[in-house]
Structure formats: C-alpha cells, structure tokens
Amino acid sequence: MATYIARRLLWVPVLLVMVSFITFALGRFGPGDPVQILLGQNFREDAYERIRKQQGLDDNIAVQYARYVGNALRGDFGESYQYRGRSVTALLKNKIWISAQLNFAALLISITLGIAAGLFAALKQGSWWDSAMVAFTLVGQSMHVFLTIPIALLIFSLKLQWLPTHGWDGFFSTSIILPALVLGIPGVAIVTRLTRASTLDVIGQDYIRTARAKGLPERLVRVRHILRNSLIPVVTTLGFSLAGLASGSFIVELYFGIPGVGLLTIESLFSRDYPIIMAVTLLGTTLFVLANLIVDLVYPVLDPRIRLGGDYVAG
Amino acid sequence: MQGEAQRLQLPNTEHRGHSYFYLSLRRLSRKKLAMTCLVIIVIMYGSGVFAPLVAPHGYNDQDLSIVKERPSLTHPLGTDRLGRDMLSRVMYSLRTTVIITVTSLVTGALIIGVSLGLIAGYFGKLADGIIMRVGEVTSAFPDIFLVLIIVATVKPRILQWVRGFEDATGIDWIIRLGIVDYTVISLALAAFSWFGMARLVRGQVLQARENQYVEAARAMGSSTGRILGRHLLPNVISPVIVSVSAGLGAVAGAEVVLSWLGIGIQPPTPSLGVMIFENGNISVLRSDPHLTLVPSSVLVLLLFTFSLLGDGLNDAFNPRAR
C-alpha cells in the first residue's frame, strides 16, 4: 500500500512536466505573435524587437521551457500578455476565488436537492413520485447547459423577471442563482440516483426492522437510521465529483459573463496569452491528477474487493 | 441444458449454437426503451447522412423576406435571422455530427484504442508501459482542455499550409468544404478518446489471454496476429460496443462545445454548436426563443438517446454485471 502510494505520488511531477511541455510546445506552435498582440496599435519595429528580446522569445524552445519551469517552481508564472504589468498569479487568484464560489453554490444545490429528492423517492418506492424521480435522473444527466441555460433565462429572467440575465456580484446576490442552478442540475440527477439506490439498500437492512420493532417513532427511524447510513456512499462519491464540476463551468461563465477562470482561459486562448494558458493547464492538471489519486485510494476503503497495487499505475 | 434452452427461448431447433453476440443482440431487441433510442438515433444519423436528399432547403439558402419566422408548414422549425430554414440547418448540422463522431471514434477509439489495448494487454512489459504512460499523460489534461489547446493552436497552422497548397495547385474546395475543420477536430477528439478504450481493452485482454484457448492456439503454432485478431478480439468486443455508445455522446457534445466557442466547425458549414452560438444571445431569446431551443434540444435528445442506449447495451451485453 505504502509503496503504491509512493509510486503514484512520484508519478505526479513526471506527468506535470510532460503536460506542461506539451502545452508549452503547442503554444509556441500556434499562430499569432504575442508581442504583436501586446503592442496592438502602438506597433513599432524597434519596440517589437526590444520586447521580443526582453521576453526571451528568440531563444531555443528548450531554453525557454527550462526558464519557465525554473520560474514556476519559485511560484512565478510570468506576466500576462493581454493584461500588461499584471502577474499571472495575482490575476488567477482573483478568478479562482470567483469560480470556486460559483462551483460551491452549484455543489450546494446538487447536494441539497439531490439528497432530498433521492430520499423522498426511495421512501415512496413504487409510487408515481418515485417513477417521476427516476425519469428525472435519466433526463437530468443528459441535460446539457446549452439547453438548461436558455430555458432558465426564458422563465426566470425574461418571463418572470426575477433574476438578472448575466453578471456577477459575489456569492450573496441574485446573479449567482441561475448559473449555479444550471451548473448544478446534472449533479442533482446524479445525487438523486445515488441517494435513492443507497436508501433502498438501507431500508431493507435488518437494523431498520429492529428499530421499527422496538417502537421508535418513524421520524427518528428515518433521520437516525435510514438517512445517516444511506448518506455514507453519497458523501464519499461527492468528493470525487468536485474536480469534474470545475471543468464544466467555463460554458456557464461565458454565457453569464462571470469573470472566473473559465472566461479567463478562453480569452487567453484567443489572444495567445501563453503564460495564463500554461498556468491554468498546470493548475487544472494538478487538481485533476490528485483527485484521481484520491479516488483510487478511497475506493478500496469503500469496496474491499478492489485491490491496490497490481501490476501497473492507473491513471 | 439444451432442453431448458429450447423450452425457454428456442422454438426453432435448427438454430442451436447461437453466439454470445447474437444472444446479446436479441436481449437488446427486447428492451423497448433502448430500441426506441436506437430508432431515434438511426433517424437522426440518417437525416444527417442523407441531408442533401431529405432536407427541404439548402443549409445556406437565405431568404431575407422571411427572417425569424415561427414554425410553419413550409418551414417546420421556422427560419433564422437570415431566413434560412432551421430544419434543413439542423439536418446538415447532424451531418457534421455524423462525420465528426464516426471519424474520430473509428480512428481514436476503434483503430488506435482497440489495437493499442490489444498490444498492451497481450505483450505487457515495455509495450504496455509505454502505451499506458502516454495515455496517462493525454488523459491528465482536465476534461476537453487538451482538445481545446490542440484545435486552437494547430488548426490555424494547418489552414495556412492548406491555403498555400491550394494557391499552388489551383484546387479550391478543400477549405470551402470544411475538410480541414473536420480533420483537425476529429483527430483532436481522437487524441482525447483513445485512451479510455485502450485501457478497457487492455484490462479485458489481461484476463482473456490466460484462457486455455489462447494457450491452445499458441501451441498449434498460430501467429501472434491470428491469436490477437481471431481469438482475443472477439472475446473482448462486448464492453467495446457498450463504451462506443457512451463515447459517441461525449464526442458529439465536445464538437458542439468547440464549435460554439468558435474554434470548431466554421460557418457557413453548419453545426449545432454554430447554430446555438448564432442564436444564443439574449435578444434572440427574448423575441424568438425557438431559434435557440431547436438546436439545443436536438443536442440534448442526441446525448439522452446515446446514454439510454448505452445503458440498454450494458444490460444486454453484460447481463450478470448488476
């Protein structure tokens, strides 16, 4: 077990180096000249040459990459091309906070609505409520934000005029409701399905019958015995979905004009802002790889039939 | 055993030795929901493939006298801001979906994924190590980020080369027909989807290669290619079929996202992503919501049917895996 974890952890930096090199090389291969973008209308031949030299863009790509990694290790991800004079670290810090708030709100919606709906469906097993919930979990998982966004906007912003169509005013405002809702809907479906399945599993257990037999009020049976036990697999699975959630949010950020990481990334991709693209890729990859690692480590705890180690290191 | 089989499901005694594949297909054919999804998918893919024949109008036929019309008999799904028929545009967009999903899945998942999975699983050691490590690097990129970077950086370069080639040779249809877009996006999506398949096949092969029939084939002097193709491949194929259905939905969705961002399929070539983008702003939504809802609904219907079909296939091909 310890060897396995050590091997997996040692593999993480190797992955990061390869991923960053691929991104770096692709960035240099791509079209457009960042210095031209940087200068914009103030383009002058001598200024162009000077800045190219200053940024070290004339050096060999391996040299440039080595310099980048050296700086990155010291926490310096360079300076943004499009936002002049602002360090990537400072820019990202702000954006990450906004995206984190949005994703947290979406997760909150997924958890509360999903657990409530799943529990309800399981307790009313066989009724039309249950069937409706099952149908919802099937449809909800395929609900692409491209459909839920226009529908939500139509109903809540245009017809009822309750919520703003776009913008961002922080966590405690009306502008977060729609984006968080559309981002959370597929999660609601997943959590509902999980909760329903695990609750049905728990309901059939002997200790539930015992609790009822000893005369415990139904409310206490549900809260203390059913709910508590059925949530164990749900909560553990939820932790895993955090990483997946974050990557899906860029469409929502673009649609609603929320100045988060997603919007920044797409902006940078179009304006060839390599330092930001690199930093976002590295950040995303690190989170993603670590999340996968945690999932792989936690699964055997949940399901002892899965053995760790084996003959290869799983991605 | 045989008597039981006869009593249960085989009135026709002449067909006794049914293959696992045949039985699975028959199990599938009895699932109403999955079959309905299959029919919907066939209709959608069919209307995409035969778009030039079945579409009532051309995808780019503009008629500025009938812009933003509500659905009517001549235009069942209405017209967009340039008076183009929405139904025809959806059909041609589905053609894009067909091209992208089929090419990227055939190249990425089926050819690259399955053959590398077979190689990694059967030979093990060095080949396995290299293939799995490379796969882990490509799958370490979060979500479709790798595709995003590849398309954004590589496509303009290739367009530049092709333009040079067109100028030099006098051929003018490569870019106009969107071939560059299709190729780059399919290949980028293939780079994104091959590893899941390779890992799946590898896992299956690791189990299957210990079977005695493989040993027997080897003992009889079968070549490696024959063992892989005739003995191992047929035995690992059913999870492949299940995962293809799930993969088709993911690839279709990714193409729509790329085109919506403006780095995928370029107008005038129609794509659901382009249509969602063109009709996606708030003023269109306020005045003519059907323009936004039509392409989005088609996308969701596509994803939904693929996911249900995948569930059905899974039940049919792995009946005991519940």
Q: For residue B268, say if its preceding peptide bond is cis, omega within 30 degrees of 0.
A: yes
Tally A–B CB contacts below 8 A. 119
Angstroms from A219 CA to nearest CA on chain B: 32
pLDDT of residue A240 exceeding 70: no
Q: Is the dihedral of CA A265, A269, A275, A281 positive or negative?
A: positive
Give B32-36's long-range contacts (Cβ < 8 A, gap of 24+): B33/B308, B33/B312, B34/B308, B34/B309, B34/B311, B34/B312, B34/B313, B34/B315, B34/B316, B35/B312
The percent of residues in chain B predicted with pLDDT above 70, rounded, is 93
The Cα of A54 is separated from the nearest Cα of chain B by a number of Å equal to 24
Please write the tens of the pLDDT for every residue from A54-68: 777 777 778 888 888
The confidence score (pLDDT) of residue B204 equals 83
- Rounded Cα–Cα distance for residues B96 and B178 (Å): 10
Which of B135, B154, B304 has its CB closest to that of A139? B304
- Contact list in B for residue A269 (CB cut-off 8 A) is 148-149, 152, 263
Chain B CB contacts of A15 below 8 Å: 136-137, 140
Any A CB within 8 A of B289 CB: yes
**Which residue of B148, B157, B307 is in closest CB contact with A29?**
B157
pLDDT tops 50 at residue B242:
yes
Residue B152 and residue B262 in contact, taking contact as beta carbons nearer than 8 Å: no
| DSSP per-residue codes, B209-247 | TTSHHHHHHHHTT--HHHIIIIIIHHHHHHHHHHHHHHH
> Measuring CA to CA, which residue among B156, B166, B163, B146 is closest to residue A33?
B156
Considering chain B, what is the average pLDDT of its residues?
Answer: 80
The yes-or-no verdict on residue A313 having pLDDT over 50 is no
Give the other-Cβ count within 10 Å of B20's Cβ: 12
Is B79 within 8 Å of B69 (Cβ atoms)? yes
Asked whether the beta carbons of B2 and B15 are under 8 A apart, the reply is no
**Is the omega angle on the peptide bond into residue B289 within 30 degrees of 0, that is, cis?**
no
Please tell me what DSSP assigns to residue B306: H
| Confidence at residue B257, expressed as pLDDT on a 0 to 100 scale | 86
Asked if the model's pLDDT at residue B12 lies above 60, the reply is no
Confidence of residue A241 (pLDDT cuts 50, 70, 90): low
d(CA A146, CA A134): 22
Other CB atoms within 10 Å distance of the CB of residue A217: 11
| B18: number of Cβ within 10 Å | 14
Report CB contact under 8 Å: A248, B304.
no
Contact (CB<8Å) A285/B140: yes
Q: Which residues of A touch B149 (CB under 8 A)?
A: 23, 26-27, 269, 277, 281
Contacts of B136 in chain A (CB under 8 A): 11, 15, 313, 315
Distinct helix (H) and strand (E) counts, chain A: 14, 0
pLDDT for residue A144: 82
Q: pLDDT grade, residue B1 (50/70/90)?
A: very low
Give Cβ neighbours of residue B298 (< 8 Å, ≥ 6 apart).
Answer: B44, B90, B93, B94, B272
B309 close to A (CB below 8 A) = no
User: Which of A56-60, A78-82, A206-210, B56-60 has maximum average pLDDT?
Assistant: A206-210
Tens digit of each residue's pLDDT (9 = 90 or more) over B14-31:
555 677 777 788 888 888
Helix H or strand E encompassing A107? helix A88-123
Judged by a CB distance cut-off of 8 A, whether residue B128 touches chain A is: yes
Number of Cβ atoms within 10 Å of the Cβ of B82: 14
Q: How far apart are CA A79 and CA A276, in angstroms?
A: 8
**Residue B3 clears pLDDT 60, i.e. is over it:** no
CA atoms lying within 13 Å on the CB side of residue B12? 4
Q: What is the dihedral of CA B183, B186, B187, B188, to 10 degrees?
A: 120
pTM above 0.95, yes or no: no
Phi-psi region for residue A167, left (φ > 0), alpha (ψ -120 to 50) or beta? left
**How many whole angstroms separate alpha carbon B10 and alpha carbon B4?**
9
Neighboring chain A residues of B295 at a CB cutoff of 8 Å = 146
For A7, other C-beta atoms within 10 Å of its C-beta total 11
Confidence of residue B233 (pLDDT cuts 50, 70, 90): confident
Q: Which residues contact B72 (CB under 8 A, 6 or more apart)?
A: B78
Please answer yes or no on whether B297 and A147 come within 8 Å at the CB atom.
Answer: yes
> If pLDDT is split at 50, 70 and 90, which confidence band does A314 have?
very low
A45 or A300: which leads in pLDDT: A45
d(CA A165, CA B285): 11
> How far is the C-alpha of B305 from the C-alpha of B255, rounded, in Å?
17
What is the pLDDT, as a whole number, of residue A8? 78
Chain A residues touching B304 at Cβ < 8 A? 138-139, 142
Classified as helix, coil or strand, B96 is helix
Give pLDDT, residue B286. Answer: 78
E-assigned strands of B80-214?
none
| Alpha-carbon distance A243 to nearest alpha carbon in chain B (angstroms) | 9
Query: Is B134's Cβ below 8 Å from some Cβ in A?
Result: no
Contact B142 A243 (CB under 8 A): yes
Check CB contact under 8 Å for A158 and B261.
no
Tell me what ipTM this predicted complex has.
0.78
Q: How far is CA B127 from the centre of its chain?
A: 28
Q: Is residue B164 less than 8 Å (CB to CB) from chain A?
A: no
Of B136, B143, B296, the CB nearest to A147: B296
Average pLDDT over residues B124-147: 82
Whether residue B130 is predicted with pLDDT greater than 70 in this model: the reply is yes
Taking a C-beta distance cutoff of 8 angstroms, is the pair B37, B83 a contact?
A: no
Q: Which residues of B fall within a CB distance of 8 Å from A284?
A: 141-142, 145
pLDDT in tens, A113-172: 888 888 888 888 888 888 888 888 888 878 888 888 888 888 887 777 777 777 777 777
